[in-house]
Amino acid sequence: MRFVMFCHSLVSDWNHGNAHFLRGVCSELLARGHELAVYEPRDAWSRVNLQAEHGRAPLEEFARVYPELHSTPFDPATLDLDLALDGADVVLVHEWNDHALVRRIGLHRRGGARYRLLFHDTHHRSVTDEESMAAYELAHYDGVLAFGNVIRDLYKSRGWAQRAWTWHEAADVRHFHPLADEAEEGDLVWIGNWGDDEREAELDEFLLGPVRDLRLKALVHGVRYPDRALARLRAAGIRYGGWLANHRAPRAFARHRVTVHVPRRPYAGALPGIPTIRVFEALACGIPLVCAPWNDAEGLFTPGRDFLVAADGAAMRRRLRDVLHDKELARALREQGLDTVLARHTCAHRVDELLAIHAELEGEPTPLRSIAA
């Protein structure tokens, strides 16, 4: 089949965690012999900021690491949809695309095109920016791929879409896997962006405070850290490593003994059951993970076995101390978390689900109907 994707960016992961999943799905589709075309806006903010800070070197590195992946930059005002969608069987349109483009593609589909058209939502804006999400015109789309049950249900209850499926993110295990020969550099590494103050208090409680009090050798990677955030990292004794190319994360994990997951407030509260890509990344790389509270409402993992959960800052201190001093506990967490990812949460699993959704839309029998709402 021929797949066409319209995403925010395939080549840049600056403040764009979904790039991991997009790349993994694209690589898997190509490995199975499907055709693929990916389109991204020429002025996408992720790509623009990456190049402003680091030049073209990261884009050239991406091409070396992912030689099979290519994207076509476009200007939304001049994009020839007839050409872009010629011969398409499945079209995926990511929610970071411009409203006008989403509408244009829907109208193109209404004009009699034979492809299946799906909107892909991987963000918390369905609850934090409802007005913007409601403005997307999806009447001519076959449905929505939402990365959590609660978002799937919101699309239907609010009348934004008639059909929706849960399509969780997952690990690209071609690139995210344990690395055995890396020299240890520290105790704890955290990869995440400071963002829009969506978890400032949580970072104090579950990351900065425990690192400071336990006197851990810690490293933080990410972007959008204001001066006050950098000052707080320094006060906690944490080294700031800046932006880290996503494909380099496995090496950072391999050089440290533990990592933590501190979900943004919308995921911890209004959107239970959505772990975001960071959990998949850590478990796929075999590093022990300790999570601040989030409700695994969809049963993706087994808390306490795949990772530990800390109810508050004091518990985070205890959990980190346990992992760092109990080699058997650390080993069990590494092995169990990795086993769960390999059994259920790889990009290959998600491609299976995507193909099952397509088969369902085509009226073909599929053993994976349970993923549909």
pLDDT, tens only, 62-110: 999 999 999 999 998 899 999 999 999 999 999 999 999 999 999 999 9
At 361, is the pLDDT very low, low, confident or very high (cuts 50, 70, 90)?
A: very high
Name the burial class of residue 55, with classes exposed (0-12), middle (13-18) and buried (19+) by CB atoms within 10 angstroms of its CB.
Answer: exposed
Per DSSP, which regions of 129-217 are E strands?
Answer: 143-146, 164-166, 186-191
Residue with the bigger pLDDT between 170 and 112: it is 170
Question: Is the pLDDT reported for residue 21 higher than 60?
Answer: yes
Whether 220 has a pLDDT exceeding 70, the answer reads yes
pLDDT digits (tens, 9 = 90+) for 106-153: 999 999 999 999 999 998 888 888 999 999 999 999 999 999 999 999
Share of residues in the chain with pLDDT > 90 (%): 88
Show Cβ contacts of residue 88 under 8 Å, excluding neighbours closer than 6 positions.
2, 3, 4, 37, 113, 115
Going by C-alpha positions, the residue among 94, 42, 96, 62 that lies closest to residue 246 is 62
For residue 198, pLDDT beyond 90: no
Comparison of pLDDT for 123 and 186, the residue scoring more:
186
Two tokens at 339?
């086993």
State pLDDT tens for residues 340-353. 999 999 999 999 99
What structural domains and CATH numbers belong to the chain? 2-170+346-371 (3.40.50.2000), 186-344 (3.40.50.2000)
Assign 264 a pLDDT band (cuts: 50, 70, 90): confident
